[in-house]
Structure 1
Amino acid sequence: MFTEFATAALVTMLVTLDPPGLAPIFLSLTRGMSAAERRQVAVRASIIAFCIIGFFGVAGDVVLKALGVSLPAFRIAGGLLLFWIAFEMVFERRTERKQQTAETAITKDHIRNVAAFPLAIPLMAGPGALTATILLAGRAHGDAVLLITLAVICGLVILCCLAVFLAASSISKLLGITGNVVLTRLLGVILAALAVQFVIDGVKAAMAG
């Protein structure tokens, strides 16, 4: 149970946050900044994203109950949302959408601190990541060990994003255009399979209830 949960959580969070996919966007958002300024933006964005994801992991179920939404229903809806994200990744639509979101936000709101928006929200702690966190927290069924494991895994994935940000230039040159495309599509296929599993679990829970 523990190993299965930890593995599913790690893969799901890695795929939904997609650290390698954020590298080129981070470079575009911080264009013209010095290395120290980029490092400051990367650290601040990672902290903000972790706080938001952690909040939804802890209070997401409470919010659902307040809205009268059952966890099985959210699992099905969340699985469908994750599947759509996977579809976008496989057919190279997610990167384009993320870039458009970033460019629109900066142009429209004249954002000075890109760490909070759009880097942390919605590029890191976006709908997919928040949905996955709530679903995984629900799968823990209140088990303190599993919830702590989920928090640690979220922290590790955020650290992966931070490491990617700090090494964005090198990673982009190393992977190249072909490498980025192949990696994104591979992660998309994995996410699609996990999304289908979320839907199956939701349907089973709804029928059992």
Structure 2
Amino acid sequence: MLTSLIVTQFVVLWAVIDPIGSVPVYLSQTQRLTPKQRRIVALKAVAIATGVLLFFLIAGQLLLEAMQIPLPAFQAAGGLVLLLFALTMIFGESKPEQEQKISEEICHSELADLAVYPLAIPSIASPGAMMAIVMLTDNNRYSLIDQSITAGVMVAVLVITLLLLFGATKIQKVIGNVGAAIISRVMGLILAAVAVNNLLMGIKNFYL
């Protein structure tokens, strides 16, 4: 049961954070920087993304309750948003293609700006990731231990993201932009299945 939970959450968080899809974005953002500056940007970006996602993990549901929004409604809405996000990954431009266009507009920004946008947000801490982390830590469905496991899985995915960014140049030579686009679309298909399940569960729980 525990292994199944960890695997499921890892797949969901891997799909919404999409570490491999962030590699081309990172490369295009840092192509004119020194190796040391590249590492700084990667560290800052992952640290900022971690802080944002931890905020949603800890306070996301509290904010919803303060606004008197039932979690099943948010779960259904989150499932719908995740589904739309997944469909754009499958049928639209892939994540690397979309965010490379953004990065071309700010290639002269300072290191901090490069780390924040578009690398930390919305590439790593995407809206889909924020939605997913709130749904995966529902206080009414998951115990504190389960939520701690979710936090650990999320941190693990982010650490892998950081390692991939550190090795981005070598990875890009191996998979290329085409490989990253293919992986992004496969992750989109997996995410779509998870999103439909969350949407149906949210609707079901709302009327129970």
TM-score (norm 1): 0.91
Counterpart of 1:200 in structure 2 is 200
Instruction: Give, in whole Å, the separation in 1 of the partners of 2:140 and 2:2.
Output: 9
Q: How does 1:173-192 map to 2 (within 5 A)?
A: 173-192=173-192
Asked whether 1:97 is paired with 2:114, we answer no
Structure 2 vs 1, CA of residues 206 and 50 (structure 1 numbering), >3 Å: closer, same or farther? same
- 2:122 maps to 122
Contact 2:72 2:202 in 1 (8 A): yes
Deviation at 1:93, TM superposition (A): 1.9
Output one character per residue of 1:97-154: Cα deviation in whole Å (capped at 9) or x when no partner.
32334344x27x9454211222112221121110000010117735121111011111
Letter in 2 for 1:102: S
- Cα distance in structure 2, aligned partners of 1:26 and 1:67: 36
What is the one-letter code of the residue matched to 1:60?
G
Q: 1:196 to 1:134 in 2, by over 3 A?
A: same
Alpha-carbon separation, structure 2, partners of 1:4 and 1:202: 21
Instruction: Work out the CA distance in 2 between the residues paired with 1:139 and 1:187.
Output: 27
Structure 1 gaps, min length 5: none
Partner of 1:74: 74
The 8 Å contact of residues 57 and 133 in structure 1, kept in 2 or not, is answered as yes
Question: Which string of whole-angstrom CA distances, capped at 9 and with x for unpartnered residues, describes residues 65-114 of structure 1?
Answer: 1122111111111111111111111124242332334344x27x945421
SS, match of residue 93 in structure 1: coil
Q: CA deviation at 1:10?
A: 0.7
1:33 counterpart SS class: coil
CA distance in 2, matches of 1:149, 1:98: 30
**Aligned residue in 1 for 2:6:** 6
* Residue 37 of structure 1: how far off its partner (Å): 0.7
Partners of 1:140 and 1:146 within 8 A in 2: no
SS of the aligned residue for 1:134 comes to: helix
Tell me the CA shift for residue 4 of structure 1: 3.4
How far the C-alpha of 1:8 sits from its partner, in A, is: 2.0
- The answer (yes or no) to whether the contact 1:85–1:94 under 8 Å persists in 2 is no
Identity of aligned residues (%): 33
TM-score for both structures, normalised by structure 2: 0.91
Residues 103 and 176 (structure 1 numbering): CA distance in 2 closer, same or farther, change over 3 Å? closer
CA distance in 2, matches of 1:177, 1:94: 10
In the TM superposition, what are the counterparts of 1:1-209 in structure 2 within 5 Å?
Answer: 1-95=1-95, 96-104=97-105, 106=106, 110-113=109-112, 114-138=114-138, 141=141, 143-208=143-208
The Cα of 1:175 is off from its aligned counterpart by 1.0
Cα distance in structure 2, aligned partners of 1:67 and 1:102? 35
- Aligned CA-pair RMSD: 1.9
Cα contact 1:140–1:147 (8 A) shared by 2: no
